[in-house]
A = this chain, B = another copy of it.
Amino acid sequence: MENEKQNNSPKFIAVSGGVGGAKLALGLEKIIQSEDLMVIGNVGDDFRHFGLHISPDIDTLLYTLSGKSDIEKGWGLANETWEFMSAMKELGGDIWFQLGDRDLATHVERTRRLQHGESLSEITDYFRRTFGIGATIIPATDDQLRTIVETDIGVLNFQEYFVRERCNPRIQNLHFQGSESAYPQKELTKALGSTELQSIIFCPSNPLLSIDPILSIQGLKKAFAESGAKIVAVTPIVGGDAIKGPAAKNLRELGYPVSATTVAKHYQGLIHGFVLDKRDREEAKQIEKLGISVLVAETIMNDLETKIQLAEKTLQFANSI
């Protein structure tokens, strides 16, 4: 099942956060030849816990694209067991971040390899080959980049905000620690410089917490713009709410209207196209006024078929701009 690293440069780049983004990435993976697809994962959520390096968004991509993910729960592995956590509880250790017994192997092996000098992208590539995933999965950067959430209860790292505090604190500001010295992963840079590249898809991930950390990487926005590829964002906001996660709450707290238009404005100047949900079709005109082409589509992906359909429509749309 090993898929050796491809030498060809990808035609399509998908930019993704965790669960929501990974759904579209899976759809894209099903319809694009392996060597033509590169999936870029957010590392702003990465953190150390129990001395382990945990990369939640990268793992969600690995688990989703290999068919190992827990579809119902939305995170982690299917058929997971929790004996480690149960024993950790007895030991009086931290239990706010749930680590399944099988998931733990990913973190332990990643941490071991990092300590032996492998880069996060080398390790990610090893895992995706071991899991039998054809498409390339690349952390946006191999440098340290961390999403820091300034809230009404203090400054939190992403997982403290997201998991420990269940997104309850009110966000006052966001910043991306390390972004001034984080550079795009080198294969991503290469792909962006290749004439092979046709489109870049921003998956329906939280623009503030999942895509912005990636866009904060030195020179990446410019490299996106200069790549000549058509850049299309798929809305994570449908009917004035987030399909999943705290995006709506985040936008509201930072003073934005919770709408697809807000997301399109957020990406204005960078994207050429925007995939709007059919429930929000009345927003199409105002988004087009921003100089952004609009595709109205069904964007809620409840099964593999809808994932593939949205992937197909998004690619055709990008191609048509």
Contacts and interface: CB of A to CB of B under 8 A. Distances in A.
A101 B115 contact: no
Interface string A71-115: 000000100110111111011110000001111111011011001
Instruction: Quickly give the copy total for this chain.
Output: 2
Q: Which interface class (under 10, 10 to 19, 20 to 34, 35 or more) fits A?
A: 20 to 34
A86 B105 CA distance: 9
Interface string A216-241: 00000000000000000000000000
A111 to B, nearest CB: 5
Contact of A102 (B86, B92, B93): B86
B102 A84 contact: yes
Given A83-B81, A83-B83, A91 B112 contact: no
Nearest to A81: B83
A87 B112 contact: no
B91 A130 contact: yes
Contact of A51 (B92, B106, B115, B126): B115
Nearest to A88: B105
Contacts of A111: 50-51
A84 B105 contact: yes
A84 B87 contact: no
Contacts of A90: 105, 130
A32 interface: no
A52 interface: yes
A9 to B, nearest CB: 28
Given A81-B83, A83-B83, A115-B51, A109 B130 contact: no
A188 to B, nearest CB: 24
Contact of A88 (B87, B109, B115): B109
A202 interface: no
Contacts of A87: 77, 101-106
A127 interface: yes
A93 B105 contact: yes
Contacts of A130: 90-92
A127 B87 CA distance: 12
Contacts of A85: 105
Contacts of A52: 51, 108
Given A50-B111, A84-B104, 18 more contacts: A50-B108, A51-B52, A51-B108, A51-B111, A51-B112, A52-B108, A77-B87, A83-B101, A83-B102, A84-B101, A86-B102, A87-B106, A88-B108, A91-B106, A91-B127, A93-B108, A93-B109, A101-B104
The 5 A-B pairs with the shortest beta carbon distances in the complex, nearest first, are: A87-B105, A83-B101, A87-B102, A88-B105, A101-B101
Interface of A: 50-52, 77, 80-81, 83-88, 90-93, 100-106, 108-109, 111-112, 115, 126-127, 130
16 contacts: A50-B108, A50-B109, A51-B52, A51-B111, A51-B115, A52-B108, A77-B87, A83-B83, A84-B108, A87-B106, A91-B106, A91-B127, A92-B130, A93-B105, A93-B109, A101-B104
